[in-house]
Amino acid sequence: MTETARANLENLYRIFTVPEAPDSTLGAIDQAITKNVADFLQKHVVALERSLDDIEKDFSTSHIPDEPTFVSDYTQFVKEKLVAQSVHTAAPGFIGHMTSALPYFMLPLSRIMTALNQNLVKVETSKAFTPLERQVLAMLHRLIYAQADSFYQQWIHDSRHALGAFCSGGTIANITALWAARNHLCSAQGDFQGLAVEGMHRTLEYLDCEGLAILVSRRGHYSLGKAADLLGIGRKYLIHVDTDVNNRIDMQCLRDEYNKLKQQNIRVLALVGIAGTTETGHVDPLEAMADFTAEIGCHFHIDAAWGGPTLFSDTHRHLVKGIERADSVTIDAHKQLYVPMGAGMVLFKDPHTLTAIEHHANYILREGSKDLGSHTLEGSRPGKAMLVHAGLSIIGRRGYELLIDQGIDKARRFAEMIVQHPNFELITAPELNILTYRYHPEWLQQQMTSLDSHRRQLVNQLLDQLTREIQKRQREAGKTFVSRTRLRSVVYGTEQITVFRVVLANPLATEAILDAVLEEQQEIVSAADLQTILSSVAEICQSAVQNG
Amino acid sequence: MTETARANLENLYRIFTVPEAPDSTLGAIDQAITKNVADFLQKHVVALERSLDDIEKDFSTSHIPDEPTFVSDYTQFVKEKLVAQSVHTAAPGFIGHMTSALPYFMLPLSRIMTALNQNLVKVETSKAFTPLERQVLAMLHRLIYAQADSFYQQWIHDSRHALGAFCSGGTIANITALWAARNHLCSAQGDFQGLAVEGMHRTLEYLDCEGLAILVSRRGHYSLGKAADLLGIGRKYLIHVDTDVNNRIDMQCLRDEYNKLKQQNIRVLALVGIAGTTETGHVDPLEAMADFTAEIGCHFHIDAAWGGPTLFSDTHRHLVKGIERADSVTIDAHKQLYVPMGAGMVLFKDPHTLTAIEHHANYILREGSKDLGSHTLEGSRPGKAMLVHAGLSIIGRRGYELLIDQGIDKARRFAEMIVQHPNFELITAPELNILTYRYHPEWLQQQMTSLDSHRRQLVNQLLDQLTREIQKRQREAGKTFVSRTRLRSVVYGTEQITVFRVVLANPLATEAILDAVLEEQQEIVSAADLQTILSSVAEICQSAVQNG
């Protein structure tokens, strides 16, 4: 080996070695980063104003550098080009999406998780993390299903069964639930080896039906469309049922859709209830849905990715009543359990259901082993369950209850603020802690009701444009952030309108900040080009008066 | 609000607030954890000896605690019950699985990633992380496909197309590849709306065929079975083709299987090549497979989750020649890119392929947006791409080349050590950095060849038992660790035998450690009960001599 080669190799070994002293170069960088991160987190700014096109220039080469870079130089790059240009999802003014602040203790604990680099697919690379993950699944199972102690004693560490599966997020959780439901419905019998082995085509021939269907309300999360596609069911067999005035599935429409499917010889695989729709935070009539699934005999899945932790609240638990009757429930820990990104779960009422997707291999997941990987969609997975365990332990039930309660209270107060404000219109009132609204000036509100439907539609289109512009400019200004979506409002019939969407999960979001959000939106509207939009609206109203 | 309620709320706010001074309680705990992690990482022990049953007792309650716990108490619990009982995957003696040491700089950088808590599903919650992830995908794409600068300039940040998808791991990467391939093959045409919309059943009716099939060698990763199940194809249509003496797909058998499928009117959806099989590290004849897929017209996917980074090595790149002809390639960053657990990627030669799985929603992933989530199986995802970016930048091509080269060299030296050792038998020689072997004492090796097939089978069963016991005891002793699997060896025909499996990716695993692994295995065999197994073997040999 040459001198250079030896030197290179030694350098290489060094980066894999833990710095022994905190005053080593790496140790110092490490401490500087900790401080830098703390500084960043203390800033109450959502994002710096710089366009994506411009940011892309810093990430435009496709060449992997030949030679190594010093960690210190790279850290500098990260600080200037990445951290500074990130979205401050933890800022109290960032109330537009479901990602919010993290409890600070999550940071040092995440470091432990990363450093241990356990792989939860098998005991041989996780050991204590395997029982820990099973415990977390049991805790969440109990939160939902409240079975007896003896039930959990029997199943918590039973290697052949699973109370649920840990996933990278709610999408994988929903897919896992529907995968298990599909395979369970179409399991082996006689000569038929089951859908898992024989595939969809033969299964439908065997069942002598034209298709399998999944029913969900119009507010169903887009991951269900992916699931229908992925599972070979087909997106057109994901039936979006109409909703009532409160964005909840309409039970009569559900029954009608079911009857239509029956006439077409299409079998219902699953009904999906939503406990906290992504866009409006509403909860489906879970009890009625449970009755209906019992009647027609299909899997009942509840997507409680957002609303699941409402179960912690003595005051608001009733809102998700019926969740305990679901066959499976999705909960995202990176949402209202305040765990860093990448932690979802699906819980199954019956510990046998997941055997429908069980799989084995020769080098791991051997039959009878305690390897978690035999019941998960994913393979290698990090030990994120540890952070859920930490949240449940450190915050506790009472802590989560407080978080849920204050979020719902704050959403209600914000709704009142919007209702009382002359220039805003509340579109969907909060049932949990999500609401939608739009800018709608007082003078227009007075005239809107008397407009004919054609003019009303034109006005709404202009308001949509206004809402879109306000949302974009507010985001770009970077002080506060709300998101936007399009939905049907009861007031405007089947017409879809564009609205601001607000999610109130960050405990540090104060009423003063909510006030500032509305204030800033009003200010944005005063821009000349947006005033032009409003002039067009005024002209339409004017023409109505003249014609009237 | 009562006094207690107010106090509770204040406590709650505090945990979401960043400690300003390093000498605050949380700051101190944070520093202590950093030190504790460093201490743990410096220990060269694989795991402490404590049975899983015993460890489970620490994780046996299914009750979520009502009241909060102090962070300091919880940290103590983590140190004693979790960290101490984890598997030290970074220990140089842990050479049994694909998880090994991390470069130390990954820890502070992971902290940044966690603290920023970006959600890569959409620009609104990631900003600079979105172009960064697209850059990383372009870099890996270039490593594999080496297209011209103009190609990358055109596609790197093109919102309607994707050079690949970032995933939580290789399983999701493989599923994504086959999902895209399936939908691409069965895309909309005339009245037919495509498989994504119409489902498998109608698609096969439309295509007028009996099934879709995926072909892979017997060494294919178990995630492909999950994919066949999940995608509605059926596990029996995942055809496991026989391998040659080097665990590579046998091209004649492949052709035979293809012809059989054709006769049954089953269409081949994809051929999967393996660049580094999980169990033996062998690489399929990729060039010949590429020719074959061109001939029959199907998607060519390569599972290079393990072997992809071999492309960094000028010396060994030829081993994966042909990879550039694949339609899609899986690479796991948490394997040979030395990134913490939970980072996989799938790259597509043609930037249009992923449009086959494109999806949209109203509140994000709007048509034309730069949101990454419109082309991924997962929804919300953390910014793991940053850590790949860090590895590629800090280690560089030359650094990764060194890592690859030293791994392969070391595997070859270990293979020589085994061959030269009287009491061990090399089962599969390393092509990359993975090998398998077993304990097989000299006196038995001499007699084995002359045994009749029945006796040889009996002896192999006893040796299997011995291998299993040695592996278990070595793991439990916790000084060093190899894994085990079952596979066919050329020497013993179609019989499956149990073997030790060694993966040499940790740059700190020295030859002295490899020596110690063999030494320890010999020591374990000296236990009385294992000697009894060997006595039974001796009796069988004896009976053969007497009968012969």
Q: For A458-505, how does the pLDDT look when each residue is reduced to its tens digit (9 = 90+)?
A: 999 999 999 999 999 999 888 999 999 999 887 888 889 999 999 999
Residue A195 neighbours by CB distance under 10 Å: 30
Tens-digit pLDDT profile for residues B358-411: 999 888 888 889 999 999 999 999 999 999 999 999 999 999 999 999 999 999
Asked if A16 is an interface residue toward chain B (Cβ–Cβ < 8 A), one would say yes
Q: What is the H or E stretch that residue A133 is in?
A: helix A129-145
What is the reported pLDDT for B301?
A: 98
DSSP state for residue B275 in the 8-state scheme = B
Tell whether the torsion through CA atoms of B236, B237, B241 and B247 is positive or negative. negative
CA–CA separation, A136 vs A5, rounded Å?
A: 48
Indicate the pTM of the whole model: 0.96
What is the reported pLDDT for A32?
A: 78
Asked if B71 is an interface residue toward chain A (Cβ–Cβ < 8 A), one would say yes
DSSP B509-539: --HHHHHHHHHHHHHHHTSHHHHHHHHHHHH
Question: Which amino acid is present at B151?
Answer: F
What is the reported pLDDT for B45?
A: 66
Q: If you measure CA to CA, which chain B residue comes closest to A138?
A: B62
CA–CA separation, B489 vs B502, rounded Å?
A: 16
Question: Which amino acid is present at B110?
Answer: S
Asked if B4 is an interface residue toward chain A (Cβ–Cβ < 8 A), one would say no
What is the reported pLDDT for B106?
A: 93
Tens-digit pLDDT profile for residues A80-132: 999 888 888 999 999 999 998 999 899 999 999 999 999 999 999 999 999 99
What is the reported pLDDT for A19?
A: 65
User: Could you tell me the strand order of the sheet in which A238-241 lies?
Assistant: A164-167, A344-348, A328-332, A299-303, A266-274, A211-217, A238-241
Q: Half-sphere exposure of residue A152, counting CA atoms within 13 Å on the CB side?
A: 22
Q: If you measure CA to CA, which chain A residue comes closest to B42?
A: A18
Residue B2: pLDDT above 90? no
Q: What are φ and ψ of residue A313, in 5° steps?
A: -95, 120
Chain B hits for A370, Cβ within 8 Å: 52
Distance to chain B for A547, nearest Cα, Å: 36
Q: What is the pLDDT along chain A (548 residues), one digit of tens a residue?
A: 678 877 877 877 777 776 656 667 777 777 777 777 777 777 756 766 788 999 999 999 999 999 999 998 999 999 899 988 888 899 999 999 999 899 989 999 999 999 999 999 999 999 999 999 999 999 999 999 999 999 999 999 998 999 999 999 999 999 999 999 999 999 999 999 999 999 999 999 999 999 999 999 999 999 999 999 999 999 999 999 999 999 999 999 999 999 999 999 999 999 999 999 999 999 999 999 999 999 999 999 999 999 999 999 999 999 999 999 999 999 999 999 999 999 999 999 999 999 999 999 988 888 889 999 999 999 999 999 999 999 999 999 999 999 999 999 999 999 999 999 999 999 999 999 999 999 999 999 999 989 999 999 999 999 999 999 999 999 988 899 999 999 988 788 888 999 999 999 999 999 999 999 999 999 999 999 999 999 999 999 999 888 76
Report the percent of chain B where pLDDT is more than 90. 82
Tens-digit pLDDT profile for residues B354-373: 999 999 988 888 888 999 99
Burial bucket for residue B367 (CB in 10 Å: 0-12, 13-18, 19+): exposed
Q: What are φ and ψ of residue B442, in 5° steps?
A: -50, -50
Do B379 and A501 count as a contact with CB atoms less than 8 A apart?
A: no
Tokens, residue A131:
């029982």
Tokens, residue B277:
């099989």
* Banded model confidence at residue B31, pLDDT cuts 50, 70, 90: confident
Q: Which residues does residue A501 pair with via DSSP β-bridges, in sequence order?
A: A436, A483
Contacts of A478 (CB under 8 A, 6+ apart): A45, A46, A47, A48, A49
A387 to each of A334, A390, A546, B372, B434, how far by Cα in Å?
10, 5, 64, 26, 33
Do B202 and A196 count as a contact with CB atoms less than 8 A apart?
A: no
Distance to chain B for A103, nearest Cα, Å: 4
What is the reported pLDDT for B26?
A: 74
To which residue do tokens 């790279």 refer?
A: A74
Q: Which of B125, B392, B497 to mutate to test the interface with A (most CBs of A within 10 A)?
A: B125
The number of helix segments (H) and strand segments (E) in chain B equals 18, 11
CA–CA separation, B117 vs B134, rounded Å?
A: 18
Contact A425, A144 (CB under 8 A): no
What is the reported pLDDT for A364?
A: 83
* Banded model confidence at residue B19, pLDDT cuts 50, 70, 90: low
Q: Which residues does residue B436 pair with via DSSP β-bridges, in sequence order?
A: B428, B501
Burial B311-325, CB ≥16 within 10 A → b, else e? bbbeebeebbebbbb
Distance to chain B for A480, nearest Cα, Å: 12
Q: What is the H or E stretch that residue B436 is in?
A: strand B434-439
What are the start-end ranges of the H helices in A208-297? Answer: 223-230, 251-263, 286-296
CA–CA separation, A30 vs A22, rounded Å?
A: 9
CA–CA separation, B141 vs B164, rounded Å?
A: 8
Report the percent of chain B where pLDDT is more than 70. 97
Distance to chain A for B29, nearest Cα, Å: 8
CA–CA separation, B383 vs B361, rounded Å?
A: 21
Rg (C-alpha) for chain A, rounded Å, is 26
What is the reported pLDDT for A460?
A: 97
Question: Which amino acid is present at A470?
Answer: I
Q: With CA atoms as reference, report the closest residue to A496 among B371, B373, B197, B363.
A: B363
Q: What are φ and ψ of residue A304, in 5° steps?
A: -110, 30
Tokens, residue A92:
């109290």
DSSP state for residue A82 in the 8-state scheme = I
Contact B418, B168 (CB under 8 A): no
Residue B548: pLDDT above 90? no
Angle between helices B511-525 and B396-420 (to 10 degrees): 40
What is the reported pLDDT for A362?
A: 85
Helix, strand, or coil (residue B24): coil
Distance to chain B for A251, nearest Cα, Å: 24
Q: What is the mean pLDDT of residues B173-199?
A: 97
Chain B hits for A195, Cβ within 8 Å: 229, 232, 234
Asked if B188 is an interface residue toward chain A (Cβ–Cβ < 8 A), one would say no
Tokens, residue B417:
């050590």
Tokens, residue A475:
């985001």
> How open is the CA angle B67-B72-B77, to the nearest 5 degrees?
80
Helix, strand, or coil (residue B256): helix
Q: With CA atoms as reference, report the closest residue to B404 among B331, B312, B340.
A: B312
CA–CA separation, B533 vs B538, rounded Å?
A: 9
DSSP B447-481: HHTTS-HHHHHHHHHHHHHHHHHHHHHHHHH-S-B
Do B386 and A78 count as a contact with CB atoms less than 8 A apart?
A: yes
Chain B hits for A225, Cβ within 8 Å: 359
Q: Which of A4, A54, A86, A500 to mutate to test the interface with B (most CBs of B within 10 A)?
A: A86
CA–CA separation, A373 vs A208, rounded Å?
A: 34
Tens-digit pLDDT profile for residues B271-297: 999 999 999 999 999 999 999 999 999
Q: What are φ and ψ of residue B156, in 5° steps?
A: -50, -45
Do B8 and A139 count as a contact with CB atoms less than 8 A apart?
A: no
A327 to each of A176, A181, A232, A372, B10, how far by Cα in Å?
12, 9, 22, 20, 38
What is the reported pLDDT for B478?
A: 87
Q: Residues for chain B: how many in total?
A: 548
Q: Give the ipTM.
A: 0.96
Do B127 and A55 count as a contact with CB atoms less than 8 A apart?
A: yes
Helix, strand, or coil (residue A17): coil
CA–CA separation, A103 vs A90, rounded Å?
A: 10
Helix, strand, or coil (residue B144): helix
Tell whether the torsion through CA atoms of A51, A57, A60 and A66 is positive or negative. negative
Asked if B233 is an interface residue toward chain A (Cβ–Cβ < 8 A), one would say yes
To which residue do tokens 């019992």 refer?
A: A294
Tell whether the torsion through CA atoms of A19, A21, A24 and A28 is positive or negative. positive
CA–CA separation, A93 vs A82, rounded Å?
A: 20
Do B117 and A90 count as a contact with CB atoms less than 8 A apart?
A: yes
Q: With CA atoms as reference, report the closest residue to B247 among B504, B501, B506, B422.
A: B501
Chain A hits for B378, Cβ within 8 Å: 168-169, 171-172
DSSP state for residue A19 in the 8-state scheme = P
Q: What are φ and ψ of residue B147, in 5° steps?
A: -75, 175
A226 to each of A239, B89, B183, B205, B362, how far by Cα in Å?
13, 35, 12, 22, 15
To which residue do tokens 């020497």 refer?
A: B491
